[in-house]
Amino acid sequence: MENNRIKKIGVMTSGGDSPGMNAAIRAVVRACAYYHIKCVGFARGFQGMIDGEYEELNARSVRNIINLGGTFLKSARSKDFLTKEGRAKAAENLKEAEVDGMILIGGDGTFRGGKVFSKEHGIPVIGVPGTIDNDIFGTNFTIGYDTALNTVVEAIDKIRDTASSHNRLFFVEVMGRDAGFIALNSGIGAGAEEILIPEENLGLERLLDSLERSRRSGKTSSIVVVSEGDKIGKNVFELAEYVKENLPRYDAKVTVLGHIQRGGSPSCFDRVLASRLSIKAVELLLDGKRDQMVGMLNNEIESCDLDKALKSKPVMNKDLLRISDILST
C-alpha cells in the first residue's frame, strides 16, 4: 500500500451509538499501527473535534474492547458543528493535531456533516456506517443492526413466555422511526403475528382480521411488533386500546423495548463487519481516496461516494412481508 501523504488519521463516533462501534475503533487503530501511521481518537463526535478533545491511540489502547457495547470515544450530536464557525474551529484543531484524514463512524447525519466539512476544509473523510437502524444506502448491513435484532428477539422470547402462559396479546414497540428493518426482521425471528412498519400501511382492518383469524385458528397468544414510525396512524398504546375495544376477547398489553436495543455486547457478525469495514476505511485514506463510505455489499467490502450514499435510501425487501404472512398462518 503506497502512501506518501497520510501520516496521521483521526477517528470518532457520532450520532446514536451502536454495538460494534468499539470494534470499529479498534480496527481503525490496529490498521493504523499495521501500516505504521499514527492515530488519534476524538471524543464525542464532531463536538470533540470542535473542542479539541482528542488523544493518541496505539494498538494497546484498544485491547479488550472488541466485546463491549457503546463507544469508549463517546458520541454526541453537535449543534456547533451545524455552524460554519464550529466547523472552522474543528478544521483548525485537526490541522494543529496534524490529522491528514478523518474516519467517521455513524449514520447519515454524521456523513452529511462530514461531507460539508470535507468540502469546506479540504480534509478527506471516510464514513463507516454504524447505526442499529440499517437505514444507510450502500451497505447491506450497518454495524450494530445484527446485535439489535438479537436483543429484540431475546426480549420478545421472554415476553412470549408470559404471553403464552396467560393467553395474552402483546404489542411490542421496537426502534425504527423511518425504516422498518428492525421490526420486519425481528418480527419474523420472534414469530410475531403481525408486523407494522413505516414503509407500508396495512390498515387497521387487516390487523383486526388477522388477529381474529389467529384466535379462531386456535392461537391463544400473539405478538405484534410495531416500529416506532409505523404508518398506521396510531402509536403502540393507542393500537392496544383500539384492539381491546374491537376485539374484547383479547387481553392486550404493551411493551416499549427502548434503549436496551442500542446496547449490549456485539454479535460475532457485527464484530467482524465492524473490523472489515474499518480496515477498508483506513486503506482508502492511505490510497488517496476521500469522501467515500465503506459498505458490505453481497458479502464483499466495497466503497461508494458519500454523495451517492446520502442521496439514496436502502430498499426494504418487501418479500419479507409475504414471508411473515406465511409464517403466521
Question: Where in 115-174 is the site for a copy of itself (CB under 8 A)?
Answer: 140, 146, 149-155, 157-167, 170
Minimum distance, C-beta of residue 253 to a copy of itself, in the bound complex (Å): 6
Task: Give the contact letters, 269-298, x = binds to a copy of itself (CB under 8 A), - = no.
Answer: x-xx--xx--x------------------x
Q: Which is nearer to a copy of itself, 13 or 292 (CB)?
A: 13
Given candidates 27, 37, 202, 309, which one binds a copy of itself under the rule CB under 8 A?
Answer: 27
Instruction: Name the segment binding a copy of itself (CB under 8 A); options: 68-76, 90-98, 102-110, 302-310.
Output: 68-76
Q: Return the closest-CA partner of residue 225 out of 281, 170, 285, 288.
A: 170
Which residues neighbour 287 within 8 Å (Cβ) at sequence distance 6 or greater? 1, 3
Distance CA 25, CA 127 (A): 12
Minimum distance, C-beta of residue 303 to a copy of itself, in the bound complex (Å): 15
Out of 17, 100, 133, 135, pick the active-site residue.
133
Q: Does 262 help bind a copy of itself (rule: CB under 8 A)?
A: yes
Q: Which is nearer to a copy of itself, 162 or 307 (CB)?
A: 162
Residue type present at position 45 = G
The b/e string for 224-240 (b: 16+ C-beta within 10 A; e otherwise) is bbbbbbbebebbbeebb
Number of residues that bind a copy of itself (CB under 8 A): 85
Q: Residue 190 has which C-alpha cell?
A: 420472534
Minimum distance, C-beta of residue 59 to a copy of itself, in the bound complex (Å): 5
Which residues neighbour 300 within 8 Å (Cβ) at sequence distance 6 or greater? none
Distance between first and last Cα of the chain: 55
Residue with cell 476505511: 281
Residue 209 known to bind ligand: no
By the 8 A CB rule, do 294 and 302 touch?
A: yes
Distance CA 255, CA 249 (A): 20
- Give the strands of the sheet with 222-227, arranged side by side: 194-196, 222-227, 169-174, 252-256
Q: Residue 113 has which C-alpha cell?
A: 456533516
Instruction: Name the segment binding a copy of itself (CB under 8 A); options: 48-56, 69-77, 89-97, 234-242.
Output: 69-77
Minimum distance, C-beta of residue 134 to a copy of itself, in the bound complex (Å): 12
Residue 220 known to bind ligand: yes
- Give phi and psi for 11, each to the nearest 5: -135, 145
Whether 133 sits among the annotated catalytic residues: the reply is yes
Residue 83 known to bind ligand: no
Q: Which is nearer to a copy of itself, 70 or 229 (CB)?
A: 70
Residue 132 known to bind ligand: yes
Segment 200 to 259, residues that bind a copy of itself, using CB under 8 A: 217-219, 253-256, 258-259
Minimum distance, C-beta of residue 168 to a copy of itself, in the bound complex (Å): 9
Given candidates 3, 8, 33, 229, which one binds a copy of itself under the rule CB under 8 A?
Answer: 33
Q: Return the closest-CA partner of residue 157 out of 135, 122, 187, 119.
A: 187
Residue 84 known to bind ligand: no
Q: Does 190 help bind a copy of itself (rule: CB under 8 A)?
A: yes
Minimum distance, C-beta of residue 242 to a copy of itself, in the bound complex (Å): 19
By the 8 A CB rule, do 295 and 178 touch?
A: no
Residue 260 known to bind ligand: yes
Q: Tell me which residues are annotated as active site.
A: 133
**Residue list, annotated binding site for substrate:** 131-133, 168, 175-177, 228, 253, 259-262
